[in-house]
C-alpha cells in the first residue's frame, strides 16, 4: 500500500472520519497518481462523498492522513486546501445560480493571483458551449451545462488535482457521455482526477483505476477495466450483471 503511494499526487491513508460523533469512514486508503483518472464507486451511504469532503477539511478526521504531493494536509481548512491546488466540484449546488457564467469563473479564480483573463479564455476553449452563454445566469442553464460551469469554475485555479463528486447525477445519457469525454479532455491537460460516481460502469470505463467502497472502507481495488469486468462487482453495483 505504502509503496504504491510514493509519487502520488493525492493520497488518503487509513482515514477514520465522520460528522460530529458519527463515524462514516472506518478505514479508507486511496491514492491518485499523476495523469490518472481514479473512480470511487460503491453503494449509497458507503462514504464516497464523505471521502472527498475529508480532503477539503469539511469534517472531522479522527485518524489517518491526507497527503498532497508529499505534504500532509490533514484537517487543513477548505480555503487553504484550495490555495494548495485542489479543486472540488460538489455534487449539488455547485454553481452560483445568480451569477453569470463569466462571474462564476471569476469567483473560481478567487485564489489565483494573476492570469485570470487568460485562464477564462482557456476554459472557453475547453468548454465551447459556455463561451456563448458567458453573460447568462448559471441558474438558467441546463443541468449538463451547469455541470460544465462547475468544472470550469473549479479548474480556474492551477489545479494539481480535480475532485468530482457525482458529476453525472441526474443528467440525461447524452450529457453523461459529454461529461465523461470532457473529463478525459481535462486529464489530457495534465490534471489528474478523482471521481466519485453512481454510474459505475461508465465511470470505470474512462478511469485508469478504481476503488470499490463499502461501509466506509475500500473493498476492491483494480484497474478501471478490471473492476468493470469483475463479475462480483458487476452483480453488486453495476446493475444485474450475468
Partner 1 sequence: MWDAYLFEFVNFYLIPGLVLGCIYALGAIGITLTFGILRFANFAHGEIMMSGAYITWTIMTLLGAAGIVLHPLVALPFACIFVVGLFLLCDRWFYKPFRKAETIKIVIASFGVMLIIRSAVQVIWGPNQIAFVRGISQPNAWLRDVTGDMGAMIIMPNKHLWIFAGTIVIVIALSYLLNKTRTGKAMRAVSDSPDLAHVTGINVETVIKATWIVGGICATAAGVFLVMDTQTLETTMGFRMLLPMFAAAILGGIGKPYGAVFGGLVIGLAEELSAYPWIGTAPLLSPGYKTGVAFAIMVVMLIVRPQGLFKGRAF
Closest contact distance (angstroms) between CB of 156 and partner 1 is 9
Q: How far is the CB of 162 from partner 1 (least distance, A)?
A: 13
Within positions 141 to 200, which residues make up the interface with partner 1, using CB under 8 A?
153, 157
Query: Of these, 108, 167, 192, 210, which contacts partner 1 (CB under 8 A)?
Result: 108
Helix, coil or strand: residue 60: strand
Q: Is residue 79 close enough to count as binding partner 1 by CB under 8 A?
A: yes
Binding residues among 21-60 for partner 1 as defined by CB under 8 A: 56, 58
User: Among 23, 75, 103, 225, which residue interacts with partner 1 (rule: CB under 8 A)?
Assistant: 103
- For cell 500500500, the residue is 1
Q: How many helices (H) and strands (E) does the chain have?
A: 11, 10
Name the one residue in this structure whose C-alpha cell is 464523505: 50
Which of 80-88, 170-178, 185-193, 225-233 is the region at the interface with partner 1 (rule: CB under 8 A)? 80-88
C-beta closer to partner 1: residue 15 or 154: 154
Nearest of 231, 64, 87 to residue 241 by alpha carbon: 231
Grid coordinates of 168: 453525472
Q: Which stretch binds partner 1 (CB under 8 A): 2-10, 24-32, 85-93, 169-177?
A: 85-93
Name residue 38's beta-bridge partners: 194, 209
Residue 192 burial class via C-beta count within 10 angstroms: exposed 0-12, middle 13-18, buried 19 and up: buried
Beta strands (DSSP E) in 69-124 are: 71-72, 86-89
Looking at the Cβ atoms of 32 and 159, the one nearer to partner 1 is: 159
- Which CB atom, from 196 or from 227, has the smaller least distance to partner 1? 196
DSSP 139: G
**Residues in contact with partner 1, total (CB under 8 A)?**
25
Helix, strand, coil proportions of the chain in percent (round to 5)? Answer: 40, 25, 35
The C-alpha cell at 133 is 452563454
* Residue 82 binds to partner 1 (criterion: CB under 8 A): yes
For 135, phi and psi rounded to 5 degrees?
Answer: -100, 5
By CB under 8 A, which span of 27-35, 87-95, 182-190, 232-240 interacts with partner 1? 87-95
Contact residues for partner 1, defined by CB under 8 A: 56, 58, 78-79, 82-83, 88, 90, 93-99, 103, 106-108, 110-111, 137, 139, 153, 157
Amino acid at each position: 500500500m505504502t509503496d504504491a503511494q510514493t509519487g502520488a499526487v493525492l493520497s488518503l491513508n487509513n482515514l477514520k472520519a465522520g460528522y460530529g460523533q458519527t463515524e462514516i469512514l472506518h478505514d479508507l486508503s486511496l491514492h491518485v497518481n499523476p495523469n490518472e483518472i481514479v473512480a470511487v464507486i460503491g453503494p449509497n451511504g458507503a462514504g464516497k462523498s464523505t471521502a472527498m469532503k475529508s480532503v477539503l477539511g469539511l469534517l472531522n478526521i479522527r485518524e489517518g492522513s491526507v497527503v498532497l504531493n508529499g505534504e500532509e494536509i490533514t484537517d487543513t481548512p477548505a480555503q487553504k486546501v484550495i490555495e494548495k491546488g485542489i479543486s472540488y466540484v460538489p455534487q449539488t449546488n455547485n454553481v452560483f445560480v445568480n451569477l453569470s457564467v463569466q462571474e462564476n469563473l471569476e469567483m473560481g479564480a478567487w485564489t489565483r493571483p494573476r492570469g485570470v483573463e487568460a485562464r477564462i479564455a482557456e476554459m472557453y476553449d475547453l468548454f465551447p458551449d459556455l463561451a456563448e452563454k458567458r453573460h447568462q445566469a448559471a441558474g438558467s442553464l441546463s443541468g449538463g451545462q451547469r455541470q460544465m460551469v462547475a468544472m470550469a469554475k473549479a479548474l480556474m485555479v492551477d489545479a494539481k488535482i480535480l475532485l468530482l463528486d457525482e458529476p453525472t447525477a441526474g443528467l440525461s445519457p447524452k450529457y453523461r457521455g459529454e461529461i465523461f469525454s470532457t473529463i478525459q479532455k481535462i486529464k489530457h491537460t495534465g490534471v489528474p482526477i478523482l471521481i466519485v460516481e453512481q454510474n459505475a460502469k461508465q465511470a470505470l470505463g474512462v478511469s485508469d483505476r478504481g476503488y470499490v467502497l463499502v461501509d466506509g472502507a475500500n473493498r476492491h481495488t483494480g484497474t478501471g477495466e478490471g473492476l468493470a469486468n469483475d463479475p462480483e462487482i458487476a452483480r453488486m453495483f453495476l446493475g444485474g450483471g450475468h
